[in-house]
Every structure is written in structure tokens, then in C-alpha cells.
């Protein structure tokens, strides 16, 4: 892809945006050279870390706020509350700042200190809670729902509110289809809420139907410690292992994941994802977070299964700086018996 093709695909560079929400989306689709060379395929990463809030979740935040405004449940000066691993909280708080709303963010205290610090910096009313499984009433999602009920606030409800996936269906998926020239053979993506995978899968199917071509093969990328791999493979949500990645992995079929065309799943161990993250940074100049490593690993495995000559798209969901204290911290990694980037290990 030429430089001009890249800038033309990014409205933030090529056009005037009326405000911050108008600058969400329109991210470049970047050829991942090493992954492509290794497989004989073209593997592209959608650079969602280039959104104003630094992650793919800006899109869900904006779609959910637009929908709540349109339905009349979010009124001028109102308060939005949400349970989040951090990135949705960042997106919601920034859009809320731009539109005059207040944001209350409930987050498990185990998430990276960079995300916690950034949320404080941008003015979120941050409530950290102990990490608890979804079945526990103290889980961050339930705490956020109760706060909404008790205070009459608007609950974003990103897991089950399908405004999340509709945002991706109408923006991210259509951008990918256009940038890839109407040919995507496979798409791989990890799930937290499932909004990104579901919305893009549905939107790519819409586009393929419109153009009368075969729809892409949709692959769910799952970290260890998540139930979705088993769900796709044999309808069994049981969980094995654990992962240091943040924002992905799920123990239930969320509203956003219902009735989505998923063809296959890959379960990716952390060392495989970390090797890819270090290679993307050290050899291609792309600084990405843990879920992007899982996504690209699944794209490489899918490329090997499909064979050379295929075009595969995945998501670079957020940037590496959000995880300096974990993914790029030799002490932390060694404590978990994980690989360390060669240039950090001296
Ligand atoms: N990657 C990162 C870094 C995230 O923060 C999230 C959302 N928590 C995801 C991937 C998953 O996106 P989704 O919620 O749309 O499934």
C-alpha cells in the first residue's frame, strides 16, 4: 500500500474533523511484512491504536453514546457508567468530555497501571474493584449496573448492548472492505465483549453479499483462560490456563456474540503472542498491546491452514505503551516464565 493510499484512508489526516468524535475511525490498514513473508499470504492489521483514545474501543464508546442519545436515555449533562478493562472507559470518558457528560468507570484493580493512570488523567470518576468472576455479584460489570440503577445513570452495558457491534458493522467492517479492495479471505479477532469480532464479521458478510462474492472465513482468536475457544469448537465454555493479556477472554456468550457467523477458533498461548508483539515492534516499528499479539498469531495460524495467496485481516487493538509495566517489563515477564524482548533483556 502506498503512503498516499494510507493517508487517503485516514480522514484525520486528509480531511477536517469537526470534533474529537468525528476523528474516531478511518484508521490505516497496514501490511504486516514478517507475518506475510512467513506464510506467503498478505496479512494486514487495522491500526486501531491510532484512534484518539488509543484503542479500538473508541468506536464502541462512540456508537453506544450516539445510540443512547438517539434513544433519548442520555440527556444533556447526564452521567454514563460502565464496567471496563480500561479501553472502553478511556473512549467513553473522552467522548463524554467532548459532549458535556460525566463518566463513572468501574474497573478491576488488576488492569495495567498505565490504563488506570490515563483514566485518572482524563478525568474519569474511577472506581477500582477487586477482580471477581462474572458469577460473583462483586464483578465489575455487576457493580456498574447497580450504580446505574441506584443513581439513574446511563449504563453503557458494552457486553450486551448491540449498539457496540452495530458501530463496527457500519464503520470498521466497511472501511476494511474498501481498503482491501473488496477482497478479504479471512478475518481473525479476539473477544472481550465480542463487539469487534461480531460487528466486523457481520459487516464483512454484508459487504460480500452486496458485491456477490464469497464471505470471508471468520476466526475467533482466544487467549488461554477464556471459554470462547471451547464454545466455538464444541459448544463448551469450559476454561483452561490463564493469560496476562488484558481486555480479552470471556466466560459467557454475550449479547454481542449471539448469532454471529464464526467458522473457526484458535487458542493462543501468551509466549506465542509475545514473540509476535516483540517482532512487530523491533522489526516493523509497530508498538501494540497483548490482544494484538493474540490476533496476529491467529492470523498466521489461519494463513498456514488456508495456504499461500490469501488475504487475511486482523485488528491491532491498542498500543504497547499501555502495557509498559507488564509486556515490556523483564521482571514481570520473568516472574511468569515468559519471553522478554531481546533489547529489554540486558
Ligand atoms: N483488545 C483490547 C486491548 C481491548 O481493550 C478490548 C476490549 N476490552 C478488546 C481487544 C476486545 O474488544 P471487544 O470488546 O470488542 O471484544
pLDDT tens for residues 53-81? 999 999 999 999 999 999 999 999 999 99
Distance (Å, whole) CA 257 – CA 44: 24
201, 246 in Cβ contact below 8 A?
no
Q: Do 269 and 186 lie in a common domain?
A: yes
In a domain, 343, yes or no: no
Last residue within a domain, chosen from 97, 126, 155: 155
In a domain, 10, yes or no: no
Q: How far apart, in Å, are the Cα atoms of 69 and each of 23, 24, 101?
A: 19, 17, 11
Q: Is 190 in the pocket of ligand 1 (CB under 6 A)?
A: yes
pLDDT tens-digit map of 206-264: 999 999 999 999 999 999 999 999 999 999 999 989 999 999 999 999 999 999 999 99
Q: How far is CA 249 from the centre of its chain?
A: 11
Last residue within a domain, chosen from 155, 182, 216: 155
* Residue to probe by mutation, ligand 1, list 193, 260, 290, most atoms within 8 Å of CB: 193
Count how many domains the chain has: 2
Last residue within a domain, chosen from 128, 155, 182: 155
* Residue to probe by mutation, ligand 1, list 196, 253, 297, most atoms within 8 Å of CB: 196
Amino acid 5: pLDDT: 40
> Residue 79's beta-bridge partner residues?
102
Distance (Å, whole) CA 315 – CA 45: 5
Q: Do 88 and 223 lie in a common domain?
A: no
Q: Do 97 and 202 lie in a common domain?
A: no
Q: Is 317 in the pocket of ligand 1 (CB under 6 A)?
A: yes
Q: Is 55 in the pocket of ligand 1 (CB under 6 A)?
A: yes
Q: Do 295 and 228 lie in a common domain?
A: yes
Residues of the chain with pLDDT under 70: 1-14
Ligand 1 atom at minimum distance from 194 CA? 16
Q: Do 178 and 267 lie in a common domain?
A: yes
Q: Is 195 in the pocket of ligand 1 (CB under 6 A)?
A: yes
Q: Do 133 and 228 lie in a common domain?
A: no
Global pTM?
Answer: 0.95
> Residue 46's beta-bridge partner residues?
29, 315
Q: Do 143 and 184 lie in a common domain?
A: no
* Grid cell listed for 22: 468525528
Distance (Å, whole) CA 298 – CA 295: 5
Amino acid 3: pLDDT: 41
In a domain, 14, yes or no: no
Q: In the chain, what's the furthest Cα-to-Cα distance?
A: 56
Q: Do 319 and 193 lie in a common domain?
A: yes
Vertex 52 angle, CA 31 and 85, to 5° = 90
Amino acid 8: pLDDT: 43
* Grid cell listed for 198: 461480531
In a domain, 45, yes or no: yes
Place of cell 457528560: 101
Q: How far apart, in Å, are the Cα atoms of 175 and each of 1, 160, 229?
A: 15, 24, 27
Share of the chain above pLDDT 90, in %: 94
In a domain, 302, yes or no: yes
Residues present in the chain in total = 346
Edge-to-edge, what's the strand order for the sheet holding 311-316?
Answer: 29-31, 42-47, 311-316, 186-190, 217-223, 264-268
Place of cell 499461500: 308
In a domain, 241, yes or no: yes
- DSSP type of residue 20: T
Which value, to the nearest 10 degrees, does the dihedral of the CA atoms of residues 143, 145, 147, 151 take? Answer: -170
Amino acid 346: pLDDT: 73
In a domain, 109, yes or no: yes
Give 88 Cα–ligand 1 centroid separation in angstroms. 8
Q: Which of 58, 117, 135 is nearest to 93 (CA)?
A: 58
Q: Which helix (H) or strand (E) holds 17?
A: none
> Residue 81's beta-bridge partner residues?
104, 155
* ipTM above 0.95 for this complex: yes
By residue range, what is the domain housing residue 244? 20-50+171-335
In a domain, 262, yes or no: yes
Amino acid 1: pLDDT: 39
Query: Strand ranges (DSSP E) for the chain?
Result: 29-31, 42-47, 79-83, 102-108, 125-129, 154-155, 186-190, 217-223, 264-268, 311-316
Q: Do 114 and 147 lie in a common domain?
A: yes
226, 240 in Cβ contact below 8 A?
no
Q: What is the CATH number of the domain that holds 112?
A: 3.40.50.1100
Q: Do 126 and 271 lie in a common domain?
A: no
- DSSP type of residue 318: B
Q: Do 60 and 142 lie in a common domain?
A: yes
* 42-47 vs 29-31, strand pairing mode: antiparallel
Q: Do 86 and 125 lie in a common domain?
A: yes
Amino acid 167: pLDDT: 98
Q: Is 147 in the pocket of ligand 1 (CB under 6 A)?
A: no
Q: How far is CA 225 from the centre of its chain?
A: 17
Catalytic residues: 57
Amino acid at each position: 500500500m502506498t503512503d498516499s493510499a494510507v493517508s487517503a484512508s485516514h480522514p484525520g489526516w486528509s480531511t477536517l474533523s469537526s470534533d474529537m468524535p468525528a476523528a474516531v475511525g478511518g484508521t490505516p490498514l497496514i501490511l504486516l511484512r514478517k507475518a506475510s513473508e512467513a506464510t506467503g499470504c498478505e496479512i494486514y492489521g487495522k491500526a486501531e491504536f491510532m484512534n484518539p483514545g488509543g484503542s479500538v474501543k473508541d468506536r464502541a464508546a462512540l456508537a453506544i453514546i450516539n445510540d443512547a442519545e438517539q434513544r433519548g436515555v442520555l440527556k444533556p449533562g447526564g452521567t454514563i457508567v460502565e464496567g471496563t478493562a480500561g479501553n472502553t472507559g478511556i473512549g467513553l470518558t473522552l467522548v463524554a468530555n467532548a459532549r458535556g457528560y460525566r463518566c463513572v468507570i468501574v474497573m478491576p484493580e488488576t488492569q495495567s497501571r498505565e490504563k488506570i493512570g490515563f483514566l485518572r488523567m482524563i478525568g474519569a470518576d474511577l472506581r477500582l474493584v477487586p477482580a471477581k468472576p462474572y458469577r460473583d455479584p462483586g464483578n465489575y460489570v455487576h457493580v456498574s449496573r447497580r450504580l446505574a440503577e441506584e443513581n439513574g445513570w446511563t449504563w453503557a452495558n458494552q457486553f450486551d448492548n448491540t449498539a457496540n457491534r452495530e458501530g463496527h458493522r457500519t464503520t470498521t467492517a466497511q472501511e476494511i472492505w474498501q481498503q482491501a479492495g473488496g477482497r478479504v479471505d479471512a478475518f481473525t479477532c479476539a473477544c472481550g465483549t465480542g463487539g469487534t469480532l461480531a460487528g466486523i464479521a457481520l459487516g464483512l458478510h454484508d459487504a460480500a453479499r452486496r458485491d456477490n462474492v464469497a464471505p470471508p472465513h471468520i476466526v475467533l482468536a482466544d487467549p488461554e483462560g477464556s471459554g470462547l475457544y471451547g464454545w466455538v469448537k464444541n459448544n463448551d465454555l469450559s476454561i483452561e490456563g490463564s493469560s496476562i493479556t488484558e481486555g480479552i477472554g470471556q466466560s459467557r456468550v454475550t449479547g454481542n456474540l449471539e448469532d454471529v457467523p464464526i467458522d473457526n477458533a484458535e487458542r493462543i498461548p501468551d509466549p506465542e503472542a509475545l514473540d509476535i508483539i516483540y517482532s512487530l515492534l523491533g522489526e516493523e516499528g509497530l508498538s501494540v498491546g497483548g490482544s494484538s499479539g493474540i490476533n496476529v498469531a491467529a492470523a498466521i495460524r489461519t494463513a498456514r491452514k488456508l495456504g499461500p495467496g490469501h488475504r487475511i485481516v486482523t485488528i491491532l487493538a491498542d498500543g504497547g505503551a499501555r502495557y509498559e509495566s507488564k509486556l515490556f517489563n523483564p521482571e514481570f515477564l520473568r516472574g511468569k516464565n515468559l519471553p522478554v524482548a531481546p533489547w529489554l533483556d540486558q
